[in-house]
Structure 1
């Protein structure tokens, strides 16, 4: 049984998925995030069922929760703008990520909302829904697509809770879609500013956003709120600051999710120090 609040960080899968889990466990984590395949390519990965099963079993025994993160080129809002082959490459990659994360026993696979340059502002949303629906068609696994909010560095798309909720609502398979909330992205997009945690949490409650939250990228920000700069900082070492990060982590809405760091490591090359700090807040 996994603990109430899984806290950890993104770890390398060098040596396999089981090794990734052990790498997280050794630094005191109760959760971790990993890339299911090469993070810089949409090329599909052949699933090593034995390694995935060992990872799943070991995590269940040790009480570790996990989430996968789709490769950087994954942009579901592109649709057919780069041709039919480009669309199907993204769809197939997302499905591949789901199959791997499901075999590893992960909660889901994080997928960025995506962006596209188009004269019609609704085209990107239509593309996103079509991509998610196609990837999820016939999906029977437990692992979900975890739709992540964006910083606004590529435009305003995907920067609000309302968009997340609406996309899930319009999908044919909402039961297979949950949310990943990135604190730095939300801060960068101007969704909230330091000291406004109560208002942010209350808005999410009213919209029903937190009801579907499954994962949190717990990152401070190297830039001030509203500048649309996606630059993560270690917790308490950025513009969000210790107190605001602490208030967020202590909220029941955040604690229900898998919480992982995507920041620089400590002096020992691990996230042990920051994980211990987060644990002390609980």
Structure 2
């Protein structure tokens, strides 16, 4: 199994990779730029290339995560333009770092009278961005943590959006365990059924990364509140075991986005490797 965590780029992209190595991680996630802004600035390409070379040498894989303000359903034209420019910048940086893809949250319904309009807006943005993108790095659509039935909480939506896009080969998936639990997609006891459905839909053949998070609230709550993996949330160890023991996902990296106040990511990675490594 490949375990890692989100790390900071305060010491640059190479510094992020070295931080992951110091945690004995086989993978890491990072924000390619300021996580609280869509502003596009030049980046240190030499540093990014050294990150790529270091990861290749150490056998570490990485993924980028778009800044918090990123949304595939922007409310106006100005925000739409910012999101498009930011996504292209994220893809360029992630490609330079040798990353597998850039994680993007599925959109939200922003049109009361026409729910399908939000899906059309997502397709418009994805098609425009990917028509400009020629690299190997992919957009990785992440499932949402909303109440059951809200937008972005089903495998069917994720698969259909990819199929309808003009460039499906440039899109993959990120499965967040807390989000899946919060939305009721995975209730902790239906992994076999979820796996079967995912295979049937073709979801798992395009799954690139897991966000490995426990949940502070019970399944179906719709609340996105992460907890540490062991003895800290509503998802039990034996329920995580069902996921870990699935042969279909044995080469997919698991990235921690868990709280570090009580258990450091270094310690949690050690726990994961001891239990499932």
Task: State if a TM-score over 0.5 links the two structures.
Answer: yes
Unmatched 5+ residue regions in structure 1?
none
Question: Which residue of the other structure, out of 230, 251, 256, is the alignment partner of 1:256?
Answer: 251
**How far does residue 176 in structure 1 lie from its aligned partner after superposition?**
0.5
| Structure 2 residue ranges without an equivalent (≥5) | none
Q: For the Cα contact (< 8 Å) 1:216–1:254, is it kept in 2?
A: no
Give 1:145-156 correspondences, 5 Å limit.
Answer: 145-152=139-146, 156=150
For 2:102 and 2:48, the matched residues in 1 are separated by 15
Q: How does 1:46-57 map to 2 (within 5 A)?
A: 46-57=42-53
Aligned length: 274
Query: Normalised by the size of structure 1, how large is the TM-score?
Result: 0.93
CA shift in 2, pair 1:154/1:204, >3 Å: closer
Paired residue secondary structure (1:21):
helix
Who is 1:244 aligned against? Answer: 239
What is aligned with 2:93? 100
Question: Are the counterparts in 1 of residues 148 and 220 from structure 2 also a CA contact under 8 Å?
Answer: no
4+ aligned runs moved over 3 Å, structure 1: none
TM-fit CA distance, 1:155: 7.6
Q: Please give the per-residue CA displacement for 1:247-278, whole angstroms capped at 9, x wherever unaligned.
A: 212212332322100001265x7312221222
Give the Cα–Cα distance (whole angstroms) in 1 for the partners of residues 181 and 207 of structure 2: 17
State whether residues 168 and 177 of structure 1, in contact with CA within 8 Å, keep that contact through their aligned partners in structure 2. yes
Matches of 1:219 and 1:52, distance apart in 2? 28
C-alpha distance in 2 between matches for 1:151 and 1:86: 23
> What secondary structure, in the 3-state scheme, does the structure 1 residue paired with 2:210 have?
strand
Q: Once the two structures are superposed, what CA deviation does each residue of 1:68-119 show, in whole Å capped at 9, x if it has no partner? A: 00011111123xx31x222111011011000000000000000001213212
CA separation in 2, counterparts of 1:234 and 1:266? 10
Q: CA deviation at 1:196?
A: 1.9
Identify the range of structure 1 (190-199 vs 63-72) with the bigger mean alpha-carbon deviation.
Answer: 190-199
Aligned to 2:118: 124
The 5-angstrom pairing of residues 203-218 of structure 1 reads 203-218=197-212
Are 2:13 and 1:17 aligned?
yes
Matched, 1:231 2:228: no
Tell me, in whole angstroms, the C-alpha distance in 1 between the residues paired with 2:188 and 2:78: 43
Partner SS for 1:228: coil
Equivalence for 2:106: 113
Q: Do the aligned residues in 1 keep the contact of 2:148 with 2:184 (CA within 8 Å)?
A: no
Change (3 A) 1:186 1:93: same
3-state DSSP of counterpart to 1:272: helix
Contact 1:69 1:111 in 2 (8 A): yes
3-state DSSP class of the match of 1:131? helix
Residue in 1 that maps onto 2:172: 178
TM-score scaled by length of structure 2: 0.95
Q: Distance in 1 between matches of 2:189 and 2:148?
A: 26
Q: CA RMSD in A?
A: 1.5
- Alpha-carbon contact 1:115-1:155 (below 8 Å) kept: no
SS of the aligned residue for 2:49 comes to helix
Q: Describe how 1:125-204 pairs up with structure 2 within 5 A.
A: 125-152=119-146, 156-204=150-198
Matched with 2:30 is 34
